[in-house]
Amino acid sequence: MKIRNLILGVPVALALTLGGCAVEDTSGPNAADREAADSKTPDKQPAKPKGPKLSAEQEQAAAKARQYLDQQAFSKKGLIDQLKFEGFPRADAARAVNTMRVNWRNQAALKAKQYLDQQAFSKSGLIDQLKFEGFTQPQAEYGVSQTKLG
């Protein structure tokens, strides 16, 4: 059974206890190089816009995304989908998330720990669940490797 978690439900203390969220965006042409360096990056850095300034709607989407990341872990795709669910146009949601510096591998590890706190999983089942949430295969594998199943 796949679980779709679109509503906040994990206490802030859990997300903070598990290590924070914002660091570096690991998408794009050099994703493999950045992904290898993820564990060496500090946990929190301010968002740094890439390219042109964000529109007012994109700024609001970015603020909402930060609120979500302060509450629980998300994949990049999952966060964009959540913003879309909140009523933001997909393009604005994607632009906002793409300007944020987020360590998506760390998000996968946080999400894996959140799932294991809620229920039992096999290693392959948890990887599949993380992939269902929108994490890539390498992000899901890394996330599970950071748990007691790893």
| Cα separations in angstroms, 69 against 6, 15, 32, 66 | 12, 8, 23, 5
Specify the pLDDT at position 36. 42
What digits encode the pLDDT tens for the residues 68-115?
A: 999 999 999 999 999 999 999 999 999 999 999 999 999 999 999 999
Specify the pLDDT at position 150. 81
DSSP assigned state of 43 = S
What digits encode the pLDDT tens for the residues 26-70?
A: 334 334 434 444 443 334 444 554 557 999 999 999 999 999 999
Among 102, 110, 80, smallest CA distance to 12 is for 110
- Least reliable range by pLDDT among 16-30, 51-65, 135-149: 16-30
Specify the pLDDT at position 51. 59
For the residues 113-139, what does the mean pLDDT come to?
97
Query: What is the three-class DSSP state of 28?
Result: coil
CA atoms of 126 and 103, how far apart (whole Å): 19
In this model, does residue 20 exceed pLDDT 90?
no
In this model, does residue 144 exceed pLDDT 80?
yes
Query: What is the three-class DSSP state of 146?
Result: coil
- Could you state, in order of their start, the residue ranges of all structural domains in the chain? 55-102, 104-150
Name the β-bridge partners of 102: 22
Largest CA distance in the chain: 45
| Cα separations in angstroms, 100 against 11, 28, 34, 96 | 22, 13, 15, 7
Specify the pLDDT at position 74. 98
Is this prediction's pTM over 0.75? no
